[in-house]
Amino acid sequence: MRISDILKSNENTLSFEVFPPKTTKNYETVKNSVMEVARLKPDFISVTYGAGGGTSMYTAKLAKEVQENYDVVSMAHLSCVTSTRDMVREQVRSIKSLGIENILALRGDLVDGMDISHLDYHYAKDLVKEIMSIADFCIGGACYPEGHPECGSLSEDIEHIKEKVEAGCEFLTTQMFFKNDLYYSYVEKLNKVGVNVPILAGIMPMTNYKQVERSKELSNAYFPDEFLEWVEKYKTDNESFYKAGVDYAITQIRDLREHGVKNLHIYTMNKANVAKEIMEALG
């Protein structure tokens, strides 16, 4: 089933992101965690694609297993910046042959000193067009309420998001954010320039201190004072940290729903217990 149809037909949606294993050795362990997440029957599950191709070989395989084992619609992430045109075409055909109908089309992060002018794909919109030329898929894209770190300004980035939607993205999923006002004003700005596809709010429950440190390093997300206060307070108390992190995400999610946000996407980090607590809190 196409995610665009789910977004149209369901009044509210709750979807989960999971990641694939890095090596063959830990495939079964990671798969079991992902299946625990799938067992919760969210509206759909998306499976990430390793930066630089590292964990890419299992993305489509895991997405297929989610669909087959739990009858949960899945989406395979696919990035293009480190791939040749032939590699991308092969991946897309393979995703199709596994019965997956949804792809999150990504450019992927640039590796230090990378000059995109020599590459087969420069931006995610190029991948969107490529996928559409190969087979029929529902295609989504990434978006950034605080602007993509490489882009000079949020308004310029929004223009590029618009191009990506015009190329064929049927929905967008946001980067994690920790202050809902950022999401509300971002959606308003997108709507103003004519981007009217569903914009799934991406929420990352922070359940340990290391995860916060890593997110600070990798994203340009704004961490509000009230968030950083509890992070510091519980940084050496794992149990209280976990509880405070899940509570923070639930508070964010409840506020989003109260503001009429229909589509929520949770970065589960393969933690079924976190996903379950969020589902229960939402009733």
- Specify whether the CB–CB gap between 108 and 150 falls below 8 A: no
Residue 17 annotated among the catalytic residues of the structure: yes
| Least spacing, CB of residue 56 vs ligand FAD, in Å | 8
Per rule CB under 6 A, is residue 145 in the interface with ligand FAD? no
Rounded distance, CA 96 to CA 142, Å?
Answer: 21
| Least spacing, CB of residue 162 vs ligand FAD, in Å | 10
Tell me the site size for ligand FAD, rule CB under 6 A: 23
- Three state DSSP letters for 84-128: CHHHHHHHHHHHHHCCCCEEEEECCCCCCCCCHHHCCCCCHHHHH
Per rule CB under 6 A, is residue 179 in the interface with ligand FAD? no
| Least spacing, CB of residue 103 vs ligand FAD, in Å | 11
SS3 at position 267: strand
Per rule CB under 6 A, is residue 108 in the interface with ligand FAD? yes
Enumerate residues 113-132 that contact ligand FAD by CB under 6 A: 123-124
Q: Which of 89, 74, 66 is nearest to 6 (CA)?
A: 74
Cα 147 to chain centroid distance, Å, stands at 16
Per rule CB under 6 A, is residue 175 in the interface with ligand FAD? yes
Summarize as ranges the residues that interact with ligand FAD (CB under 6 A): 48-49, 51, 77, 79, 104, 106-109, 123-124, 142, 148, 150-151, 157, 160, 163-164, 173, 175, 202
User: Could you give the residue numbers annotated as active site?
Assistant: 17
